[in-house]
């Protein structure tokens, strides 16, 4: 059975179709688009294509001419040169305003293809066919971007897809590291919006191997519902959408200091969530057993101590460089309780105090 979540934004409401075999629905989804597409242009992560390309190829409507364009696997697709190559191929294929771009891959390919669709002739429609767990987050909400040598995601646009077709069968080929990393964003969604989901997750996941099947599908659907409720309220990130950055301020610092790719994004976010939970206890008397939570993440294989190998000064330097920082203070998303996030500024002294506490407690996990 396929499930459907509707994402409502100011100008558009679109479906997320999620389930095992969801890709079989893509023809119907494409033919349902009100302004019938003239042709299709698939931008595919080449590694994903090698694993699952056949399934997508077979499911596309045979009535529409389709071009395929392959991009390097993962983050290296989000570069100016790959972006340019895509646009060149789109021009050569003579796409018009009603041609449809299909993004086939993880969050990286989705961000790139979405930005190509946003830029080509000032914006043409696109569909996301995400293939990672993390992409339950990135495929919904309309943020698209590539990287600049001076900063990740610095060049981009808001551009909502026409639909998201999320076939959970594709997730079975993910490595354990990618599974764990993507699932951190599900844990994030639970912490900022759904205490009972958090409880369910903590009971169900004893190791990364438990992240699968109908349990995973349920978690992804809830994650998408939570994300889409936030996006509905704040499409352009002027308010509550910032809650989605929970765990990301410290997490981004760990990710950057480790060297991108070494500690996966979600692994770093897991560290960042522990930090933000200790900070919430300190600033706000959050009643939560952060040390047991950290110990549980560790058992599930998260590298929870990845931040402790760097000095506080180094971490602080990266956090203040973050685009979300103002002055010497750092903007943080904290919790009043599980499911009740808020944004606050943290001073250097406060952060240093929490960092010391974090390091001390980390001996007990
Ligand atoms: P990714 O797209 O880089 O993919 C990670 C790796 O997994 C790649 O090597 C890829 O080839 C491989 N892969 C993808 N699907 C696979 C599958 N089914 N089986 C086996 N291997 C597979 O990583 P990601 O974690 O999906 O996405 C990270 C990106 O998402 C970052 O660039 C981040 O900035 C972006 N992001 C965007 C948003 C947003 O709102 N737009 C939100 C969060 C993250
Ligand atoms: Zn993230």
Mutate to test the pocket of ligand 1, among 76, 110, 138, 264 (most ligand atoms within 8 A of CB): 138
pLDDT of residue 237: 81
Tell me if residue 185 is catalytic.
yes
Q: What is the pTM of this model?
A: 0.94
Same domain, yes or no, for 92 and 15? yes
Look up the CATH number of the domain holding residue 29: 3.40.50.1970
The finding on whether 25 has its CB within 6 A of some atom of ligand 1 is no
pLDDT of residue 239: 85
Mean pLDDT of the chain: 95
Residue tagged active-site, from 75, 78, 248, 255: 248
Residue 150 contacts residue 123 (beta carbons within 8 Å): no
Taking the centre of ligand 1 as the mean of its atom positions, its distance from the CA of residue 357, in whole angstroms, is 33
Look up the CATH number of the domain holding residue 280: 1.20.1090.10
Residue 272 contacts residue 250 (beta carbons within 8 Å): yes
Q: How far apart are CA 48 and CA 224, in angstroms?
A: 22
Same domain, yes or no, for 318 and 271? yes
Mutate to test the pocket of ligand 1, among 132, 147, 182 (most ligand atoms within 8 A of CB): 132
The finding on whether 73 has its CB within 6 A of some atom of ligand 1 is yes
**What confidence tens digit (pLDDT) does each residue in 157-175 have?**
999 999 999 999 999 999 9
132: containing domain: 3-173
327: pLDDT strictly greater than 80:
no
Tell me if residue 227 is catalytic.
yes
pLDDT of residue 238: 80
The finding on whether 45 has its CB within 6 A of some atom of ligand 1 is yes
Q: Nearest C-alpha to atom 38 of ligand 1 is from which residue?
A: 138
H-run or E-run covering 152: strand 151-158
**What confidence tens digit (pLDDT) does each residue in 283-325 have?**
989 999 999 999 999 999 999 999 999 999 999 999 988 655 5
Same domain, yes or no, for 132 and 37? yes
Residue tagged active-site, from 136, 188, 227, 267: 227
Tokens 């438990």, located at residue: 210
pLDDT of residue 322: 61
**What confidence tens digit (pLDDT) does each residue in 237-281 have?**
888 899 999 999 999 999 999 986 689 999 999 999 999 999 999
pLDDT band at 138 (very low <50, low <70, confident <90, very high): very high
| Burial category of 64 from C-beta neighbours within 10 Å (exposed 0-12, middle 13-18, buried 19 and up) | middle
pLDDT of residue 151: 81
pLDDT band at 236 (very low <50, low <70, confident <90, very high): confident
Same domain, yes or no, for 109 and 238? no
**What confidence tens digit (pLDDT) does each residue in 175-229 have?**
999 999 999 999 999 999 999 999 999 999 999 899 999 999 999 999 999 999 9
- Listed residues 120, 146, 173: the one ending a domain: 173
């Amino acid at each position: 059975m396929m499930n459907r979540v509707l994402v409502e934004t100011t100008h558009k409401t679109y479906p997320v179709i999620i389930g095992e075999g969801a890709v079989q629905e893509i023809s119907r989804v494409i033919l349902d688009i009100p302004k019938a597409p003239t042709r299709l242009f698939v931008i595919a992560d080449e590694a994903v294509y090698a694993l699952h390309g056949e399934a997508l190829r077979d499911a596309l409507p045979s009535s529409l001419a389709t071009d395929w364009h392959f991009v390097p696997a993962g983050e290296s697709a989000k570069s100016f040169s790959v972006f340019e190559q895509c646009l060149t191929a789109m021009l050569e294929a003579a796409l018009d305003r009603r041609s449809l771009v299909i993004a086939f891959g993880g969050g990286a390919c989705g961000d790139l293809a979405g930005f190509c669709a946003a830029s080509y002739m000032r914006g043409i429609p696109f569909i996301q066919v995400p293939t990672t767990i993390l992409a339950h987050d990135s495929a919904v909400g309309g943020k698209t971007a590539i990287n600049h040598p001076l900063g990740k995601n610095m060049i981009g646009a808001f551009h909502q897809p026409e639909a998201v077709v999320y076939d959970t069968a594709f997730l079975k080929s993910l490595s354990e590291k990618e599974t764990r990393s993507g699932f951190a964003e599900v844990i994030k969604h639970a912490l900022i919006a759904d205490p009972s989901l958090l409880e369910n997750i903590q009971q169900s996941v004893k190791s990364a191997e438990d992240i699968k099947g109908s349990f995973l599908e349920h978690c992804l659907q809830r994650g998408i519902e939570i994300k889409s409720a936030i996006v509905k309220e704040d499409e352009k990130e002027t308010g509550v959408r910032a809650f989605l950055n929970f765990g990301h301020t410290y997490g981004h610092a760990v990710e950057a200091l480790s060297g991108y790719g070494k500690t996966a994004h979600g692994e770093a976010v897991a560290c960042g969530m522990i930090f933000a939970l200790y900070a919430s206890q300190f600033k706000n008397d959050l009643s939560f057993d952060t040390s047991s939570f950290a110990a549980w993440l560790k058992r599930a294989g998260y590298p929870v101590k990845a931040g402790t190998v760097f000095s506080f000064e180094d971490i602080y330097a990266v956090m203040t460089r973050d685009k979300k920082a103002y002055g010497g203070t750092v903007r943080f998303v904290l919790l009043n309780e599980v499911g009740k996030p808020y944004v606050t500024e943290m001073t250097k002294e406060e952060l240093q105090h929490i960092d010391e506490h974090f390091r001390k407690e980390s001996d007990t996990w």
